[in-house]
């Protein structure tokens, strides 16, 4: 029986998660600037608040109060739709990422916790969690394509074409690299994948090292991070598909970019680093710590490597990463069925 209390609780849970995610995204922008500054022996933002801690707030206010410009030749509807699509596609997948073990206990304030996954450390525990994430993130390419096309600008269109070609190409390798993990776990559910990695040598980064590497590379290409940031290759394309966007519409593209980075870090944590599993400290702390480490790792990479060349990128994606991930799937399947004895 669905009670009103349960519905209220579920809404509170979702809003709480959304608040945490949005705050985290805002502070990742600061973290990136700070860490990059550290890597380049600079100080980074340090004027707004202590250690620049209020910088994201100042940035947000600045973006909100900037003038909205809609280009005259733009397709108005799609021009408005594109940032929204990108933002939604960046936030929606967090619904199936398990961030904790869940509450012990049957009820809260007299409301039974067995409905709507209320007692679990995840917003929606669905059977096909990983497919849901891939399905939604495959839609985020539309935001890029439509934004680039609707701006009616040749740099935007070129940037969009490039970005979507890159995202589609690397999505394949990304998907195939996860298949090895799915084979070992025997389930598409992210909750089960985390529960399966209950000790450090059972973490999938040790059981599936090749898949881990491919996932990291294809993942950073998927969210368009350096060395794969051709989307906004400023010396060739001005700013790619977001050239004509200003004010908060640009802000949404910007936030979605960091949202994708946070999602990628959470996914790496969930799939390969044991999710919330860990001794002594509470599960949510472990999860956050691992995500934080992955974020640092991606920023570190950005501070270290130069941008690739575009044709090299496509060659690498199709001729190295995809075959390697296929080999990984075949090898995992053979070893699994011959030596480990399939359980499913």
3-class state of residue 112 by DSSP = strand
In the window 94-123, what residues touch other proteins (CB under 8 A)?
none
Of the ranges 35-43, 46-54, 140-148, 333-341, which one interacts with other proteins (CB under 8 A)? 140-148
Site string for other proteins, 159-178 (x = CB under 8 A): --x--x---x----------
Binding of residue 124 to other proteins (CB under 8 A): no
Residues 232, 318, 262: CA angle, nearest 5 degrees: 45
CB of 133 to other proteins, least distance (A): 10
36 vs 78 by CB, closer to other proteins: 78
Residue with smaller CB distance to other proteins, 55 or 243: 243
Whether omega before 227 lies within 30 degrees of 0, making that bond cis, reads yes
Among the listed residues 12, 61, 139, 285, the single contact to other proteins using CB under 8 A: 139
Tell me whether residue 53 or residue 131 sits nearer to other proteins (CB atom): 131
Instruction: Tell which positions 31-90 bind other proteins, by CB under 8 A.
Output: 75, 77-78, 81
253 lines the binding site for other proteins (CB under 8 A): no
Please report whether residue 142 would count as binding other proteins according to CB under 8 A.
yes
Among 21, 141, 217, 299, binds other proteins (CB under 8 A): 141
Helices within the chain (DSSP H only): 4-39, 55-65, 76-91, 129-150, 154-185, 190-196, 204-207, 209-222, 234-237, 247-272, 283-304, 310-315, 322-335
Asked if 167 and 240 count as a contact pair (C-beta separation under 8 A), the reply is no
Neighbours of 8 (CB within 10 A): 12
Beta pairing partners, 107: 112
Cβ closest to other proteins, residue 70 vs residue 138: 138
User: Which residue from 314, 301, 298 is spatially nearest to 257, judged by alpha carbons?
Assistant: 298
**Largest alpha-carbon pair distance within the chain?**
65
Strand partners, 235: none
How far apart are alpha carbons 323 and 317 in whole angstroms? 9
128 binds other proteins (CB under 8 A): yes
Contact between 2 and other proteins (CB under 8 A)? yes
Residue 152 beta carbon to other proteins: minimum distance, rounded to whole angstroms:
11
Residue nearer to other proteins on the CB measure, 35 or 141 = 141
Tokens at residue 303, please? 């501070």
| Closest to 326 measured CA to CA, from 214, 182, 176 | 176
Q: Rule CB under 8 A: is residue 213 a binding residue for other proteins?
A: no
**CB–CB of 90/140 below 8 Å?**
yes
Cβ neighbour number for residue 255 with a 10 Å cutoff? 23
The minimum distance between CB 79 and other proteins, in angstroms, equals 12
Which CB atom, from 6 or from 273, has the smaller least distance to other proteins? 6
Q: Which residues bind other proteins (CB under 8 A)?
A: 2, 75, 77-78, 81, 126-128, 131-132, 134-136, 138-139, 141-142, 145-146, 149, 157, 161, 164, 168, 188, 344
């Amino acid at each position: 029986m669905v009670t009103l209390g349960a519905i209220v609780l579920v809404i509170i849970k979702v809003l709480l998660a959304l608040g945490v995610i949005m705050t985290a995204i805002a502070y990742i922008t600061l973290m990136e600037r700070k860490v990059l500054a550290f890597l380049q022996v600079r100080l980074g933002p340090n004027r707004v608040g202590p250690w620049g801690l209020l910088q994201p707030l100042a940035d947000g206010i600045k973006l909100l109060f900037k003038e909205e410009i809609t280009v005259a030749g733009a397709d108005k509807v799609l021009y408005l739709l594109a940032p929204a699509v990108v933002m939604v596609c960046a936030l929606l997948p967090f619904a199936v990422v398990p961030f904790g073990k869940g509450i012990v206990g049957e009820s809260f304030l007299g409301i039974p916790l067995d409905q709507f996954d209320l007692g679990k450390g995840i917003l929606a525990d669905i059977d096909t969690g990983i497919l849901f994430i891939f399905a939604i993130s495959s839609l985020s390419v539309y935001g890029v394509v439509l934004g680039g096309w609707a701006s009616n600008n040749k740099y935007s269109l070129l940037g969009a074409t490039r970005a979507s070609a890159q995202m589609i190409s690397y999505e394949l390798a990304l998907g195939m690299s996860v298949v090895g993990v799915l084979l070992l776990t025997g389930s598409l559910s992210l909750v089960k994948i985390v529960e399966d990695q209950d000790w450090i040598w059972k973490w999938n980064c040790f059981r599936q090292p090749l898949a881990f590497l491919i996932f990291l590379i294809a993942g950073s290409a998927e969210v368009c991070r350096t060395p794969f940031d051709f989307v906004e290759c400023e010396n060739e394309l001005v700013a790619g598909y977001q050239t004509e966007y200003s004010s908060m519409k640009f802000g949404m593209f910007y936030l979605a970019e960091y949202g994708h980075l946070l999602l990628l870090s959470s996914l790496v944590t969930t799939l390969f680093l044991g999710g919330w599993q860990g001794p002594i400290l509470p599960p949510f702390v472990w999860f956050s710590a691992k995500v934080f480490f992955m974020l640092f790792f991606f920023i570190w990479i950005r501070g270290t490597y130069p941008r690739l060349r575009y044709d090299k990128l496509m060659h690498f994606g199709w001729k190295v990463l995809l075959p390697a991930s296929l080999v990984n799937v075949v090898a995992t399947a053979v070893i699994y069925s011959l030596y480990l004895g399939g359980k499913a």
